[in-house]
Chain A
Amino acid sequence: MKLVTAIIKPFKLEDVKNALEGTGVHGMTVSEASGFGRQRGHTEVYRGAEYTVDLVPKVRLEVLADDDRVDSVVDAIVTAAQTGRIGDGKVWVVPVESIVRVRTGERGSEAI
């Protein structure tokens, strides 16, 4: 079992969500995030005082997947989130030791 975490541009969330549903993903966790990579933030001016804002608003999306489905999940995210411009984000995958569905107590792949 794997945890797929994706940092994407906020306006791409709908596309990525649809693409994941298309590959049979039934659930995900989405949170507002901010950060920077090669894309930096912007400058704001208040009464002539300039402030640099380094952190760019992003969406952080987390999906749990079985090992044999991880590649299709990652591909779906990357394809849907890509604009080709700087700041498209990142996707990473880490192993997951165990998963429990709180409502039923199911464990492992059953709980995904």
Chain B
Amino acid sequence: MNSALNTGNTAWVLTSAALVLLMIPGLAFFYGGMVRTKSVLNMLMMVMGSLFVVGILWVAFGYSMSFGDSYGNNGLLGNIGQYDWLTSLMANDPKASLPAMAFVAFQAMFACITVGLIAGAIADRTKFGAWMVFSAIWAVLVYFPVAHWVFDLNPTTGGFLAKWGVIDFAGGTAVHINAGAAGLALAIVIGRRVGWKKNPMKPHNLTLVMIGAGLLWFGWFGFNAGSEAAADNSASVVFVNTFVATCAAGLGWLATEKLRDGHATSLGAASGIVAGLVAITPSCSAVNPQGAIIIGLLAGVVCALAVGLKYKLGFDDSLDVVGVHLVGGIMGTLLIGFLATKAAPAGVDGLFYGGGLSQLGKQAAGAGIVLVYSFVIATLIGLVIKYTRGFRVSTDDEVLGVDLSLHAETAYEFNESGGGGHFAGVGHAARSHMEEE
């Protein structure tokens, strides 16, 4: 038997992994409700599709790239061959308090959801195959290395940002800035949707958006409190900070809308929830509950203002991956430099608690490096795909709707006549039947 095993911690990490997995369909619903009726299924498919691809890559060599020993101990990239297909991690290690596979499972979900986040920036117009290819390449070239920089805390063989002392508890840089910068890059490379800023592009199902936001909030407790990798006091502090920051962000977003547009909206509430969760992700271990409220409130207000930028700057980030995840991630990462307090689990004082500017400098460096790296590499991958296999559907297919043109499905059937069709056979038989007609 494993004598060192801590069953409580192991149970919490495995549970947290499942909680984070639930965020992925949550994200799909959150995004899916915001697109038009003709592309909701494609949005769900993009998020779930990248989950399939990245999950396999994680097991094959992704975990090694993120959590293997750094080549030359320089903190840039983990040894890609270290845990080949994870076979070596299967044996019971009597000295481990947490099984390696529990950590592998937990971190797998982070890789998968980070790639899924990008999909919101390029909704309604992206070839499904091209998206799957991008998911794989971006995970390998960007997410796996960046996760090593930030999340591998080993003082010798770990990542260079972690060694510098950049505080990112659960992924403000590695997840949200990373995905937000890639989303911005792809929105620019792929271009605006047909009819953008002219035709109505209203969210088609706001109840679905709120269901998604609720699932994200629920799962995010695994994301943040699970990142402690233990069922302990720090995890509990992180849990409360995550909860209260999100409440504050919801209020901040709604207040901004009420003052600016005259109405507090349900989309604003759902968006505020996500903005708050994003901003508290890096900072949840470094601040006290008042600090968490300030971070949430500021994230709600600033992200509510930031989502309007795309109309001024002219890039079609369809579902505001930049305005919510990039901006929220930057805010949460930088605010640690101001609001961190030694009383919190991370044990560092920020500017407002007499810690000076040094932590703020580290946070800014971490945020900037991840932003630039992800943006540049995502742009390059995007351009290669665009000029080889093509990244975007034809204008006809886009106008028809990507649900039908890419997946041969429609999301909703509202009448009994079924569009006036008939059963045409199974598989190939159906296709040849159609051709005969």
Contacts and interface: CB of A to CB of B under 8 A. Distances in A.
| Interface residues of chain A: helix, strand, loop or mixed (majority) | strand
Contacts, number: 30
A73 B309 CA distance: 56
B308 A46 contact: no
B311 A47 contact: no
B315 to A, nearest CB: 14
Interface stretch (B67-75, B106-114, B238-246, B259-267): B259-267
B202 interface: yes
Bin the interface of chain A by size.
under 10
Contacts of A47: 267-268, 271, 304, 307-308, 320, 323
Contacts of B262: 45
Contacts of B203: 46
B71 to A, nearest CB: 43
B311 A49 contact: yes
A48 B200 contact: no
B257 interface: yes
B257 A48 contact: yes
Given A45-B261, A45-B263, A45-B265, A51 B307 contact: no
Interface in A34-66: 44-51, 53
B58 to A, nearest CB: 33
Contact of A51 (B202, B267, B323): B202
A44 B202 contact: yes
Given A45-B261, A45-B263, A51 B200 contact: yes
Interface in B376-410: none
Interface in A41-100: 44-51, 53
Nearest to B261: A45
Interface residues of B, number: 18
Nearest to A45: B261
Nearest to B34: A46
Nearest to B323: A47
A35 to B, nearest CB: 16
Nearest to A52: B200
Interface string B220-233: 00000000000000
A55 to B, nearest CB: 11
A46 B311 contact: no
A53 B262 CA distance: 17
Contacts of A51: 200, 202
Contacts of B260: 48
Contacts of B265: 45-46
Contacts of B323: 47
Contacts of B200: 51, 53
Contacts of A53: 200
Nearest to B320: A47
A50 B257 CA distance: 12
A74 B261 CA distance: 43
A86 B386 CA distance: 52
B320 to A, nearest CB: 6
Contacts of A50: 261
Nearest to A50: B261
Interface in B289-323: 304, 307-308, 311, 320, 323
Contacts of B320: 47
Interface in B179-222: 200, 202-203
Interface string B55-91: 0000000000000000000000000000000000000
Interface string B237-281: 000000000000000000001001111010110010000000000
Nearest to A49: B311
A48 B260 CA distance: 8
Contacts of B304: 47-48
Nearest to B307: A47
A48 B308 contact: yes
Nearest to B262: A45
Pairs A-B, 9 closest by C-beta atoms: A45-B261, A47-B307, A48-B308, A51-B200, A46-B267, A51-B202, A46-B203, A46-B202, A47-B267
13 contacts: A44-B202, A45-B257, A45-B261, A46-B265, A47-B267, A47-B304, A47-B323, A48-B257, A48-B260, A48-B304, A50-B261, A51-B202, A53-B200
Interface of A: 44-51, 53
